[in-house]
């Protein structure tokens, strides 16, 4: 697949933008002669090859720009397979390069006599414009390639190298304290239980612990205890021997725990595990052994268990839904991830991170979020936590037509309460102002001397100048 085909949606948008500016039709063809983008009549032949022997083919072959002012009479089109059937009256082609390698051409086409005259009369300006647009597109392609490389590198580093905790965003002291505890136990073999609401990043923290452990080169196997049907859960976790049930693989199959040999098993949503399976997981924790379905002998496993849940395990124990002995085996090192509303000061950091991430994925150039939106996002309670915030930012980047995200870009379900938190802020400001005014009225005597005012300013911990400004604000002289 060509570079341009890999970003065809962006290239189409690019072509439409050029067409709107020039008021001429535009097409972009890759180095294989495939029409990647086009406006006007060109739209009917997207993802098709341009004709052999055509002018665009000669520009691709030579790497040199060119122009045909009248395609009805030019000799250059005589070998084209569409000769006599072409609807273009005039055209201009400019090669595209990326690091000196040809990757396609930008073409400007005239399909009416008016467009043809415009192309002819403005061809010197069009020439310079196309050169400039070619350079811009090359810069964009290189930036996208660079961003993709960085993303791939971050994934690689997160999976295989130390310092995975440094890639978990958050500056709130309580949040960092949890990360420090996790980092401290990463090299341990002890079982970890990560607690927290849905969307707080429990799996990310588990992966960070694995990545900074001595098991980092071995598998990290995730088992979602709530997602696998109960009938299949035992065979998925422990595997099965040949012929153990109808439809089984005739060679048998190792389970997920066995596949994690030497590495880490992440039991996600462990609070939703069935009572029937709980004693078998308990055996893994106590004896480091499993029994395949239909097996006659135990298999020893060397795995570390990290579990996570958003459930109240203590309440589930009280109701008999969760075994007490399993709870204590899992709860060796408990880590509690706070909900986003408890470290809302980190929200601007997350917003900027998600903007950078989805700019790359969606080929956008959003620079940031305006202050009113950031204030709203910081005050919203985020029941879905960081995952919900990320989804909202992704939506807004898709829908925004501006360089900065604003409250108007919020998804529809937020529109009804988008002023709610601003109203609360105003109410709070009003309450504080009322209290401040009341306090000053009580403290400042009518006709107080400068010395008395100076003493009051000292008591309040403000300067005399600030006190005078506040007295003026509340008409207290």
- Helix, strand, or coil (residue 371): helix
Distance, CA of 172 to chain centre:
21
φ/ψ (deg, to 5) at 77: -95, 5
Cα–Cα distance, 343 to 359 (Å, whole number): 25
Q: Which of 189, 218, 193 is nearest to 205 (CA)?
A: 193
Cα–Cα distance, 56 to 109 (Å, whole number): 11
Count CA atoms closer than 13 A to 162's CA, side-chain side. Answer: 5
Cα–Cα distance, 346 to 330 (Å, whole number): 30
Cα–Cα distance, 77 to 71 (Å, whole number): 7
Distance, CA of 289 to chain centre:
39
Q: What does each of the 477 residues of the chain score in pLDDT, given as a tens digit?
A: 677 887 788 888 888 888 888 888 999 998 888 999 999 888 888 888 888 878 888 888 888 888 888 877 765 666 677 766 778 888 888 888 876 678 889 989 888 888 889 888 888 888 888 887 777 777 776 666 555 544 554 454 444 444 677 778 888 888 999 999 999 999 999 999 999 999 999 999 999 999 999 999 999 999 998 887 777 778 888 988 887 776 667 788 898 999 999 999 999 999 999 888 899 999 999 999 998 888 888 999 999 999 999 999 999 999 999 999 999 999 999 999 999 999 999 999 999 999 988 887 777 888 889 888 888 999 899 999 999 999 999 999 999 888 889 988 999 888 666 555 554 444 555 556 666 777 777 777 656 777 778 888 888 888 887 887 777 776 665
Kindly report the length of the chain.
477
Two tokens at 369? 């979020």
Instruction: Kindly write down the DSSP assignment for every residue of 118-178, as one continuous string.
Output: HHHHTHHHHHHHHHHHHHHHHHHHHHHHHHHHHHHHHHHHHHHSS-GGGGS----HHHHHH
Cα–Cα distance, 158 to 168 (Å, whole number): 10
Positive or negative, the CA dihedral 167, 172, 174, 177 is positive
Cα–Cα distance, 238 to 251 (Å, whole number): 15
- Whole-structure pTM over 0.75, yes or no? no
């Amino acid at each position: 697949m060509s570079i341009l085909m890999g970003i065809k949606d962006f290239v189409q948008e690019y072509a439409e933008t050029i067409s709107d500016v020039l008021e001429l039709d535009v097409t972009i063809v890759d180095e294989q002669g495939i029409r990647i983008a086009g406006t006007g009549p060109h739209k009917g032949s997207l993802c098709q090859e341009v004709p052999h022997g055509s002018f665009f083919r000669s520009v691709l072959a030579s790497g040199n720009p060119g122009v045909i002012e009248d395609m009805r009479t030019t000799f250059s089109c005589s070998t084209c397979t569409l000769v006599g059937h072409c609807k273009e009256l005039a055209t201009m082609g400019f090669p595209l390069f990326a690091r000196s390698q040809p990757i396609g051409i930008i073409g400007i086409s005239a399909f009416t006599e008016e467009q043809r005259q415009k192309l002819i009369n403005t061809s010197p300006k069009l020439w310079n414009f196309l050169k400039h647009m070619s350079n811009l597109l090359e810069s964009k392609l290189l930036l996208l390639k660079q961003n993709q490389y960085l993303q791939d590198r971050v994934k690689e580093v997160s999976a295989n190298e130390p310092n995975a905790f440094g890639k978990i965003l958050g500056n709130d002291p309580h949040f960092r304290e949890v990360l420090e505890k996790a980092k401290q136990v990463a090299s341990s073999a002890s079982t970890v239980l990560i607690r927290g609401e849905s969307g707080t990043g429990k799996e990310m923290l588990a992966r960070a612990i694995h990545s900074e452990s001595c098991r980092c080169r071995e598998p990290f196997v995730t088992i979602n205890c709530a997602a696998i049907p109960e009938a299949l859960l035992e065979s998925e976790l422990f595997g099965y021997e040949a012929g153990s049930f109808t439809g089984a693989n005739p060679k048998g199959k190792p389970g997920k725990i066995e596949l994690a040999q030497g590495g880490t098993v992440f039991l996600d949503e462990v609070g939703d595990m069935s009572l029937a399976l709980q004693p078998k997981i308990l055996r893994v924790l106590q004896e480091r052994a499993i029994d395949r379905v239909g097996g006659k002998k135990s298999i020893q496993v060397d795995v570390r268990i990290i579990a996570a849940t958003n459930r109240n395990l203590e309440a589930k124990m009280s109701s008999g839904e969760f075994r007490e002995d399993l709870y204590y085996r899992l709860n060796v090192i408990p880590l509690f991830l706070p909900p986003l509303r408890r470290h809302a000061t980190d929200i601007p950091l997350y917003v900027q991170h998600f903007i950078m991430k989805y700019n790359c994925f969606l080929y956008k150039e959003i620079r940031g979020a305006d202050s009113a939106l950031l204030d709203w996002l910081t005050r919203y309670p985020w029941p879905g936590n960081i995952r919900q915030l990320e989804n909202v930012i992704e939506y807004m980047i898709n829908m925004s037509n501006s360089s900065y995200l604003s409250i108007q870009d919020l998804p529809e379900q937020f529109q009804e309460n988008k002023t709610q938190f601003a109203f609360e802020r105003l109410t709070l400001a009003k309450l504080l102002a009322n209290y401040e005014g009341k306090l000053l009225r009580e403290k400042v005597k009518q006709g107080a001397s400068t010395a008395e005012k100076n003493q009051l300013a000292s008591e309040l911990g403000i300067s005399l100048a600030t006190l005078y400004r506040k007295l003026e604000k509340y008409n207290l002289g």
